Chain A
Amino acid sequence: MEKLYEIYIKTTPEKLWDALTNPDLRSKYNFGVRIESDWTPGSHYEGKAPNSARALVEGENVEVDKPRKLVQTYRALWSDTAKKEGTSRVTWEIAPIGDSCKLTVIHDQLRDNAPAELYGGHMMVLSGLKTLLETGQKLTTPGSLMYT
């Protein structure tokens, strides 16, 4: 199964890349989760709540083409249901369009009928990312920063 998400954000590819890979920025719109990695091809990444040792998500950076494309394997660890799904793949594509960027997130290699908790969060993350980059503010929708 495959899920696609697309959003237009008024920013530059460099700023968008930084917002994805800098854990301090990432935690401001990604449910409060910090994603740590050295972002080299083949490197490991891990997402944790601040002040917690438990990884909520992890995987490898398969392809790193700064600031245009990032391909990652994806293992969700936040619940038993999510853990059972094993490894899928998330691709981030950044395309500059005029004074904005089109960001496409492709979550594929999902099992058919995979539970929505695995991929449903991308919508909230992208909405928060747009708000952060365009206004400098955090999105305060209930649940959007549940791990802070």
Chain B
Amino acid sequence: MDAVFKALADPSRRKLLDALYKQDGQSLNALGRRLTMTRFGVMKHLRVLEAAHLIITKRAGREKLHFLNAVPIRLIHDRWVSKYSAPFAAALSDLKHQLEEN
């Protein structure tokens, strides 16, 4: 989980994830065009993201395609976020039921 937090702690890497969220399965060249970053820079960030399992690569002919793997982010959500936000979600749900009944 440390690797995921570290990977997410960089704005360029978050940009790469956002680019894949919008359009999944992109090549290195396509990602480089979307971000004002050198090819070397994109490669370096992709390696960190792949080590954290936030992206999965797949060969398609001569190209290597990059896919977003959002599962580690979900694990962080389930481990950290939901624990603290659940009481608020429950309160809102009760409020919704009350308003709908009236």
Contact = CB atoms under 8 A, between A and B. Distances in A.
A and B co-occur in one complex:
yes
A5 B78 contact: no
A141 B75 contact: no
Contacts of A126: 71, 74
Interface string B81-98: 010001001100000000
B53 A5 contact: no
A4 B58 contact: yes
A3 B24 contact: yes
A6 B58 CA distance: 12
B17 to A, nearest CB: 14
Contacts of A7: 71, 75
Contact of A141 (B25, B67, B69, B78): B78
B42 interface: no
Chain B interface size, under 10 / 10 to 19 / 20 to 34 / 35 or more: 10 to 19
B90 to A, nearest CB: 8
A9 to B, nearest CB: 11
Interface residues of A, number: 21
A104 to B, nearest CB: 8
Contacts of B75: 7, 127, 130
Contacts of A141: 77-78, 82, 86
B70 interface: yes
A142 B86 contact: yes
B8 interface: no
A60 to B, nearest CB: 25
A4 B74 contact: no
B56 interface: yes
Contacts of B53: 6, 8
A123 interface: yes
B69 A5 contact: yes
A2 interface: yes
Contact of B24 (A2, A104, A123): A2
Interface of B: 24-25, 53, 56, 58, 67-71, 74-75, 77-78, 82, 86, 89-90
8 contacts: A2-B67, A4-B56, A4-B58, A4-B68, A6-B53, A128-B78, A131-B78, A141-B77
